[in-house]
A and B are shown apart, each in its own frame.
Chain A
Amino acid sequence: MAQPKVLASVSERANYWKLFLVRFREQSYFFILTLPAIVLLVFLFLYPLVSFFTRSLFDPSWTTEHYVQAVTGAAWGKIFLNTFEISLFTTLAVLFLGYPLAYLLATISNRRVRNLLLPLVVIPFWTSVLVRSYAWIGVLGRKGLLNVALTDLGLISSPLALLYNRPGVYIGMIHFLLPFMIFAIFAVMRGIPQTLLQAAEGLGASPLRSFLRVYFPLSLPGVGAGCLLVFILALGFFIIPALLGGPKEVMLSMIIQQQISEALNWGFAAALSVILLILTLGLYLIYNRFMSFERLYGGEKR
């Protein structure tokens, strides 16, 4: 496989060509293996995406009206703001809940206890979003588990409004996104040697100080990657705000769905989609500097 660096003589050059041909044949063989997947992705993903996006500018003929409408329409501005606000708050809350949990999982010395705790993150992660939304309706409703329990305990006199409003959306979304954050931070924390903390403490730092000055800075790549990933996912959320939210919790992807299913307004839906995609891609490019997607989804080398 190693490529000859210097070609001194003519005979070596001939040799090089032979080698080149052999290599070319070998590499085209590798390339051909990827073809079925590539063809499928181009025809069923790339092509439909591009043809959908062109509708934002050609509906029916060349126009920028859809983009103008998306950017200047007062109602739509509010949707963008909503989406942004919900995503931001969710990300911060997920970080707040997820960081200590990732820390616990990464610093447990007993492997068996860790293997018992990991399923408590993995099972919810793989539980259907629909099942979870349904369960939250059962827990958060006026006659739901939480309100009944709190009333019985005498903590509240009238049921709290936790469903079909902002708290409901937050509880559902934070729950959905928490495992992503935990995995992202855990992946980084696992690589931080415990001996560093011992060294810091051995040199006289208090446990808090050694955590803040040594451990926390080293875990920041995971925090950055986790936050960006969670924010990206939150921006495109559909199912949970649609099931647990009220009219004030309408997010961008819900408008896209509504514009197509109900208003049949393809051009406008396409313009909103392009804007959503550009936002997502921009954030993804930043994300890519922190961590590769492969690493997050378990593709990390062991």
Chain B
Amino acid sequence: MSRPLGTQVPRTPLRRILLYAFCTLVFIYLMLPSLIVIPISFGEATYLELPPESFSLRWYQDYFGRQEWVSATITSGVVGVLVAMVSVSLGSLAAYGLVRGRFPGKTVLNALIISPIIVPMIITAVAIYKLYSDLGFLGTIPGFVLGHTIIAFPFVIIIVSATLRGIDESLEQAAMSLGASRLTALRRVVFPMMLPGMVTAAVFAFLISFDELLIALFISTPTLSTLPKRLWEGIRIEINPTIAAVSTILVLLTVLVLAGLLISRVYFERRQQR
């Protein structure tokens, strides 16, 4: 990684070279776990074998062939999409009210919305578990969706609020003074400019829900559990490369989603420049 940098500056001082060397090691440390699961997943052996001696797809067959993995994946996907929809629609409304409004008590509301990030996840998970077991909500899709929405809210509202703060308020006021109702101004002026932020927020909400373990650990039932819950059981009980196959798919999915997000941002920025 340091080579293209070195060619940038004519004479790279020694301390800069040391910095590159140190950072290369840290980058390797950072990327190692995401990359290492790929070779493990294509191995033949039933234990963790590195490097694999022979190439095989048996762990992928195992993953796609087993009902408990497939249904957990589908549950996580459905929950993730619903969380993205619920948290972004409600979160964007709240963000608009909080950014544009000047009513008393805004600080308190802001603190309330941020608080799920601050409270340790285990505490939130236990509290939701207690509520759900009282309400008979355990192991239900709406239960998962609402629980994960709480966790995703702070991120969604922070991202959408930032986008809104970047949009000049006088644009809406201009639209309204030219005769548009507030709703029309929102729909035709503000919404198109908010969209990039909302898309980013939706992607993050999906990823947060798709990766959420602690709530799922408590509110899953044998009939309905999410992919992270299955992975957790898998890692604790049967360490076999099926988990590596799932992990590889998850890493590729994450990279694809982030790349897609980046591309969509570039697209939005280009369109706005025109």
The residues in B between 1 and 53 inclusive whose CB is less than 8 angstroms from any CB of A are 1, 4-5, 8, 13, 15, 19-20, 22-23, 26-27, 29-34, 36-37, 40, 47-48, 50
CB 8 Å contact bits of B221-257 with A (1 = contact, 0 = none) = 0000000100110011001000110010011001100
User: Quick one: which of A100, A130, A297 contacts B159, CB cutoff 8 A?
Assistant: A297
CB contact under 8 A between A293 and B114, given known A134-B37, A145-B50, A178-B30: yes
Q: How far is the CA of A41 from the CA of B150 in the complex (A)?
A: 7
Cβ distance A22 to chain B, nearest Cβ, rounded Å:
13
B113 surroundings in chain A (CB, below 8 A): 37-38, 41
- Complex interface: stretch among B57-65, B67-75, B117-125, B187-195: B117-125
CB contact under 8 A between A27 and B258, given known A37-B91, A253-B122: no
B15 surroundings in chain A (CB, below 8 A): 207-208
Cβ distance B115 to chain A, nearest Cβ, rounded Å:
7
Does B158 interact with chain A (Cβ within 8 Å)?
yes
Q: List 9 A-B contacts (CB under 8 A).
A: A30-B101, A36-B90, A40-B150, A44-B149, A45-B124, A128-B247, A135-B33, A257-B217, A273-B123
- Asked if B258 contacts A119 (CB within 8 A), the reply is yes
B228 surroundings in chain A (CB, below 8 A): 128, 130
CB contact under 8 A between A104 and B23, given known A40-B90, A297-B158: yes
Interface size class of A (residues with CB under 8 A): 35 or more
Interface contacts (Cβ under 8 Å), in number, total 266
B96 surroundings in chain A (CB, below 8 A): 30, 33
B residues at A contact (CB < 8 Å): 1, 4-5, 8, 13, 15, 19-20, 22-23, 26-27, 29-34, 36-37, 40, 47-48, 50, 90-91, 93-94, 96-98, 100-103, 109, 112-124, 126-131, 146-147, 149-150, 153-155, 157-159, 161-162, 165-166, 182, 207, 211, 213-214, 217-218, 228, 231-232, 235-236, 239, 243-244, 247, 250-251, 254-255, 258
**Overall SS of chain A's interface:** helix
A residues at B contact (CB < 8 Å): 1, 27-34, 36-38, 40-42, 44-49, 51-52, 97-98, 100-101, 103-104, 108-110, 113, 117, 119-124, 126-139, 141, 143-145, 148, 175, 178-179, 207-208, 232, 235-236, 238-239, 243, 253, 256-257, 260-261, 266, 269, 273, 276-277, 280-281, 284, 293-294, 297-302
CB contact under 8 A between A132 and B34, given known A37-B91, A48-B131, A145-B50: yes
Closest B residue, CB atoms, query A131: B247
B90 surroundings in chain A (CB, below 8 A): 36-37, 40
Given A34-B93, A137-B239, 12 more contacts at CB 8 Å? A30-B101, A34-B109, A36-B94, A37-B93, A41-B112, A100-B22, A124-B34, A128-B211, A134-B231, A236-B123, A253-B120, A277-B119
Q: How far is the CA of A40 from the CA of B181 in the complex (A)?
A: 29
- Asked if A45 contacts B115 (CB within 8 A), the reply is yes
CB contact under 8 A between A34 and B97, given known A47-B131, A49-B123, A126-B254: yes
A253 surroundings in chain B (CB, below 8 A): 120-122
Closest B residue, CB atoms, query A33: B97
A117 surroundings in chain B (CB, below 8 A): 1, 27
Q: How far is the CA of A176 from the CA of B147 in the complex (A)?
A: 23
A30 surroundings in chain B (CB, below 8 A): 96-98, 100-103
